[in-house]
């Protein structure tokens, strides 16, 4: 429900007066929807793999983060070389060296964010982390809309309701599971 609500909230109405053929092609092909589907699918697969890794190898958040950060540069460098974007980035930094401080600040903020993400995964599980990140994205967008005075379409209000209902159900199920686990632990201690 949360993912559907976020998707419904972000879905753009088809532009009625669009002269750009590339945008028409992307709207027809649904490239954005396909990319969101692929991203969510990979999040789901990643969560399952991380849960198995956590269960089978008692891994800490830092170990999990270290492993991911050792593999990620291989994919990143390959993509940068294949597309040629790496050379463009280096050329841009060479022309604008003042951006270096911003890149360092962004990297540090990203590393700190990763610590929170991997700690959440190893402590509470990947599903909870996915709910946190999706909810955070939604609230960021919603606050942006409210702060800048944009009006929401009726469909977007339905999306907001879906997200909050999904969050409420998740909170209810989570508290119910904790209550059941506590009862089981108490019964085990008594026996």
Burial of 68 (0-12, 13-18, 19+ CB in 10 A): middle
Find the mean pLDDT for residues 72-95.
Answer: 91
Find the mean pLDDT for residues 65-86.
Answer: 88
Q: Categorize the per-residue pLDDT at 56 as very low, low, confident or very high, splitting at 50, 70 and 90.
A: confident
Q: What angle, rounded to 10 degrees, do the helices at 31-56 and 21-29 form? A: 50
Q: What is the pLDDT of residues 131-155, one digit of tens each?
A: 777 777 777 777 877 888 777 788 8
Burial of 126 (0-12, 13-18, 19+ CB in 10 A): buried
Residue 128's nearest CA partner among 179, 168, 170, 160 is: 170
Residue 105 has pLDDT above 90, yes or no: yes
For residue 38, the model assigns a pLDDT of: 80
Where residue 30 falls (left for φ over 0; alpha for ψ -120 to 50; beta otherwise) is left
Q: Categorize the per-residue pLDDT at 13 as very low, low, confident or very high, splitting at 50, 70 and 90.
A: low
Q: Work out the mean pLDDT of the chain and round it to a whole number.
A: 78
For residue 42, the model assigns a pLDDT of: 77
Residue 14 has pLDDT above 70, yes or no: no
Q: Which two tokens stand for residue 120?
A: 């959440």
Q: Which two tokens stand for residue 49?
A: 């793999």
Which one has a higher pLDDT value, 150 or 161? 161
Give dist(CA 156, CA 142) in Å, integer: 10
Residue burial 89-122, b: 16+ Cβ < 10 Å; e: rest: eeeeeeeeeeeeeeeeeeeeeeeeebeebbbbbb
Say if pTM beats, i.e. exceeds, 0.85: no
Domain boundaries, the chain: 39-124, 126-180
């Amino acid at each position: 429900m949360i993912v559907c609500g976020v998707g419904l909230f972000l879905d753009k109405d088809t532009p009625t007066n669009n002269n750009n053929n590339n945008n028409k092609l992307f709207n027809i092909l649904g490239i954005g929807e396909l990319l969101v589907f692929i991203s969510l699918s990979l999040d789901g697969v990643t969560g399952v793999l991380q849960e198995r890794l956590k269960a089978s190898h008692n891994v800490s958040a830092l170990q999990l983060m270290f492993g991911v950060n050792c593999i990620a540069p291989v994919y990143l460098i390959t993509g940068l070389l294949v597309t040629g974007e790496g050379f463009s980035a280096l050329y841009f930094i060479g022309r604008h060296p003042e951006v270096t401080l911003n890149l360092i600040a962004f990297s540090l903020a990203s590393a700190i964010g990763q610590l929170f993400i991997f700690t959440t995964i190893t402590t509470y599980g990947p599903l909870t982390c996915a709910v946190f990140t999706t909810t955070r994205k939604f609230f960021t967008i919603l606050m942006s809309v409210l702060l800048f005075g944009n009006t929401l379409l009726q469909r977007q209000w339905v999306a907001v309701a879906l997200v909050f209902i999904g969050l409420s159900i998740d909170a209810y199920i989570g508290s119910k599971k904790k209550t059941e686990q506590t009862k089981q632990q108490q019964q085990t201690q008594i026996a």
